[in-house]
Structure 1
Amino acid sequence: MDIREFLVEYSEETLKILHGTLYTLHFGSVDQLLKLMKSKNVEKLEGPNGWKLCINGTYYNKFAKFVKNGHAKGNPGQVFEGQNTYLNPFYISRRKTPSFRYGDIRRSPLGESSFLFVKNNRYHRYI
């Protein structure tokens, strides 16, 4: 399953996994994400650039500095390194350029019937 779809589909649980005001995935998110995968019976999450995380904890991240292919328990800091912009639809980039193109529409974590419209890297709620 695509990680971006997974994070949006289970947004209520996802928002507990993300950290800080930028809503990042990082080393502290790995165990919680694996538990969520198990509870939703998702065997593998995949993303752009060949990124993947399997339910048994193995991962591949071509942007990792040290261990690109390994086990998340031993290398939790490598799992999401350099990937938030690509994997995380809730991530708020520090860059001046928006993470999403102007006009992108995303499903809102606020409810199934609402959507988020991206303008100037800010979400605007539409029902």
Structure 2
Amino acid sequence: MNIDHTILTVLILVPLVGAVLLALLPDKGRLMQWGALAVTLITFICTLHLPARYDYSAVAGSFQFEQNHEWINSPAIRYHLGVDGLSMWLVVLTGFLAPSASSSPGTPSAIAGSSSTPSSSCSRLR
């Protein structure tokens, strides 16, 4: 199965569909965190298709995995995606970093709750 011409759309839709599904999940225990980790790992695995199938002998500056479809006739709006050599690695890096961000031990509310509030630190100064 050759998904070269749709892989960039898949990389956009997997996190989008995952976010919608996570929004519909009940907030029980760590279900949301495990779901977010699963979605980001699936996205990362999909990004690994890019360097595996990239044509490194192609002309510099040319796009690969390109999609260019007419979306709306008037005004002329097109759906156009593609990656070159540099942006491909940035997509892979983003896919690599997302699971580590979603599996971090502290949430913003937990971090904010553990720090001292400005009013308590000001009272110590008096």
Band of TM-score, shorter chain: under 0.3
- The answer to which structure has the higher strand fraction is 1
**Which of the pair has the greater relative contact order for Cα pairs under 8 Å at 6+ separation?**
2
Higher helix share: 2
Q: Is the radius of gyration larger for structure 1 or structure 2?
A: 2
